[in-house]
Amino acid sequence: MTIQISCQGSLSGLGSQTTARQGNALGILGVGSGVLASLGAVGFPPEVIAQFAGVAAIGGLVGSVIGRRVTATELPQTVALLHSIVGLSAVLTSIASVLQDTAHLSTLHMVTAYLGVVIGGITFTGSIVAFLKLAAKMSSRPLALPGKHFTNLALLGANAATMGGFLTMAPTSAPIVAASFLTASTALSFIKGYTTTAAIGGADMRTMS
């Protein structure tokens, strides 16, 4: 309940320039409470908690430096760049969760990890393209890809096919084959993130952000 109230207050506060600082503080409180609650529920050993604290401190320091240097007009591309990091983190975390204990993988675990790779991969490259367009580091004109709908559907179908191969091979004695399917899906997701986002104009991205 505390987390939900903090997040709602954060969104309300960020809607006005005069209450933006208060909204930002409430957002930090909400996210921080959620992270601490999750860590407490899982019951990680002290060594893992110490590692998390160190990484969180580094991330907080980097975020503070970026936040102080970014101007209001640079917020859209900054958000896009940070989203790319979130996407890559989802890819790496999903792959690591599979490699951690290959002998006891459940179907639910494999499906969620696979979807994490697909969604994270699309988010990663798509957000990079959005950042480059919003920052005027590449042409903001939409990419005129011939047969773009067919291409995206073909990539999505290939993702589904590799998912079937992964689910079939992972529980058996063919982990290398399963890993190749997961790697192929990662590459396909990266490509789909580019083809999907590059077809959007820079001005439309700024409007959506």
Model confidence over 130-170: pLDDT tens digits?
A: 888 888 888 778 777 777 788 888 888 898 888 888 888 76
Q: Indicate the angle between helix axes 2-14 and 20-42, nearest 10 degrees.
A: 150
Q: In this structure, are residues 76 and 209 in contact, taking their beta carbons and an 8 Å threshold?
A: yes
List pLDDT tens digits, range 45-81: 888 888 888 988 898 898 888 888 888 778 788 888 8
List pLDDT tens digits, range 78-102: 888 888 998 999 999 888 888 777 7
pTM of the model: 0.76
State how far the Cα of 161 lies from the Cα of 153, in Å rounded to an integer: 12
> Which tops the pLDDT comparison, 207 or 8?
8
Rg (CA), the chain: 20
Instruction: Label residue 142 exposed, middle or buried (CB < 10 Å: 0-12, 13-18, 19+).
Output: middle
